Amino acid sequence: MNENPYEIFQKEFPDLSKKFNELIEVQKSLKGMDSKTKQLINLAIQTANKNPQGVKLHSMIAKSEGATREEVLCAVVLNLHHSGLSSVLGCLPAAIDGFDEEIEKKHPKKEVPVAKTNQDNKIEYQGIIIDTHPEVYKPAEDTYLLINNLDINRKDEILEIGTGTGLVAIYAAERSSKVVATDINEKAVKCAMKNTITNHRYNVELKQGSLFEPVEGRKFDLILFNTPYLPTSEEDKLEEDLNAAFDGGLDGRDTIDAFIDHVKDYLKDNGRIQIVQSSLADVDKTINKLKELGFDASVSAGEKCFFEEIVVITGKLL
Ligand SMILES: C[S@@+](CC[C@H](N)C(=O)[O-])C[C@H]1O[C@@H](n2cnc3c(N)ncnc32)[C@H](O)[C@@H]1O
C-alpha cells in the first residue's frame, strides 16, 4: 500500500483529523517563537519519536521557513544523546530528502544544455568555444547555473566581475549591448581575451583588477559575479592564481561581503545584480544585506551538489 498514512487517517477519521488540523494551526500561530525555530524543534521531536516520515515533512517546512541544511541536520543530530544513534541514523536520510525536495519544488531543474569538452581540451557550450588554462577557473556547474538563469535585456550594459575564461561574458554579450568583464587573475583576463576573439565577440571589454577598481566611476544595468564562495582556511589556500577562484576566506564571505558593500555605487537606477554562492557561505546573510541596502533580493535558482547547494541570488534596486 503506497497511500500516505496521514491521508488514510484523514479518510478514515475526517472529524478527528479536522480537529487535529485545527490544533496544528493554533500551535503554528503561537507567538512564543518564530516559525523556523518551531520547525527545528518539531524535527528534533520527530527524531526522538523515531518517525522518519515526520522528519521529512518538517525538514521540508523548515527549509521553506528559511532553515539552512546545517540547521535541519543539527536538529536531528542533537537527539543523539537522548534517543541514540539508531534513531538519528533512521531519521537523517529523511531530513536530507525533505530538505532537497523543498529545493527542487522551489527551483525545478530545467533541461539545460550540456557542455562538451573536445580533444584539445576546449569546452563547447551553446555554440561558444572556450579555451581553458590550468590557472584559470574551468567552467563548472556554477558557471552553467548562472548562464541558464541570466536575466538580461537587449539594451543592458553589463559588468561581469571574475570572468575566468570569459564564457559568461561572451554568452551575455551575445544578448546585450555591451559587457565589461574583469578578473583579479591576469591569466584569466588573457584567457578571456583570447576566447572573445575566437568567438568574434567584439562588444566585450576586458580589464584586470579587484572588484570595482577597474570600473571606477562607471555604472551598469546588470552586474554579474560567480563569486569565490568556498570557506577556506590557511592550509586550504593554493599558491597559484587559481586560489582566487574559490577562496572566500574562513567563512566563505570575504569577497561576497566586499562586493555587496560597494555594488550599489556601480548600478544605474533600477539596476540588477546576479551573484552565485554556496549554501556553505550563508545565503540568508547575503539576502538580508542586500535587502538592507534597498534591493529586492531572493534566490532565483539553485542546484544541489554533494554537500552544499549552489544558488543564484538576483537583486533588483528598488
Ligand atoms: C568561481 S570563479 C568564476 C569564473 C567564471 N565567471 C565562471 O563562472 O566560470 C571566480 C572568479 O572570480 C575571480 N576573482 C576572485 N576574487 C576577485 C576579485 N576580488 N575581483 C575580481 N575577480 C575576482 C577569480 O579569479 C575567478 O576567475
DSSP per-residue codes, 203-255: TEEEEESSTTGGGTT--EEEEEEE---B---TTT--SSTTHHHHB--TTS-HH
With a CB cutoff of 8 Å and minimum separation 6, the contacts of 85 are none
pLDDT by residue (tens digit) across 131-172?
Answer: 999 999 999 999 999 999 999 999 999 999 999 999 999 999
With a CB cutoff of 8 Å and minimum separation 6, the contacts of 251 are 231, 281, 282
- What grid cell was written down for 60? 521540508
Instruction: Name which of 104, 29, 80, 91 is nearest 57 in CA terms.
Output: 91
Q: Is 139 in the pocket of ligand 1 (CB under 6 A)?
A: yes
- The CATH code that applies to domain 107-317 is 3.40.50.150
In this prediction, residue 4 carries a pLDDT of 64
Q: Is 143 in the pocket of ligand 1 (CB under 6 A)?
A: yes
Question: 29 versus 172: which is more confidently predicted?
Answer: 172
**SS3 state of residue 101:** helix
- What grid cell was written down for 133? 588554462
Given the CA of residue 163, which atom of ligand 1 is nearest to it?
Answer: 6
In this prediction, residue 263 carries a pLDDT of 98
What stretch of H or E contains 302? strand 295-304
CA of 17 to the centre of ligand 1 (A): 54
In this prediction, residue 28 carries a pLDDT of 72
Instruction: Name which of 295, 297, 262 is nearest 277 in CA terms.
Output: 297
In this prediction, residue 99 carries a pLDDT of 86
What stretch of H or E contains 190? helix 186-198
CA of 28 to the centre of ligand 1 (A): 43
Domain 5-99 annotated CATH 1.20.1290.10: yes
pLDDT by residue (tens digit) across 103-131?
Answer: 666 666 666 788 888 877 899 999 999 99
Contact 293, 300 (CB under 8 A): no
CA of 229 to the centre of ligand 1 (A): 10
In this prediction, residue 173 carries a pLDDT of 97
2 has a pLDDT exceeding 70: no
Residue extent(s) of CATH 3.40.50.150 domains in the chain: 107-317
Mean per-residue pLDDT over the chain, rounded: 91
Query: What count of other Cβ atoms lies within 10 Å of the Cβ of residue 83?
Result: 16
CA of 15 to the centre of ligand 1 (A): 59
In this prediction, residue 53 carries a pLDDT of 86
Residue extent(s) of CATH 1.20.1290.10 domains in the chain: 5-99
In this prediction, residue 283 carries a pLDDT of 94
Question: 260 versus 8: which is more confidently predicted?
Answer: 260
Counting ligand 1 atoms within 8 A of each CB, the residue from 136, 145, 160, 183 with the most, and so the one to mutate, is: 183
In this prediction, residue 109 carries a pLDDT of 63
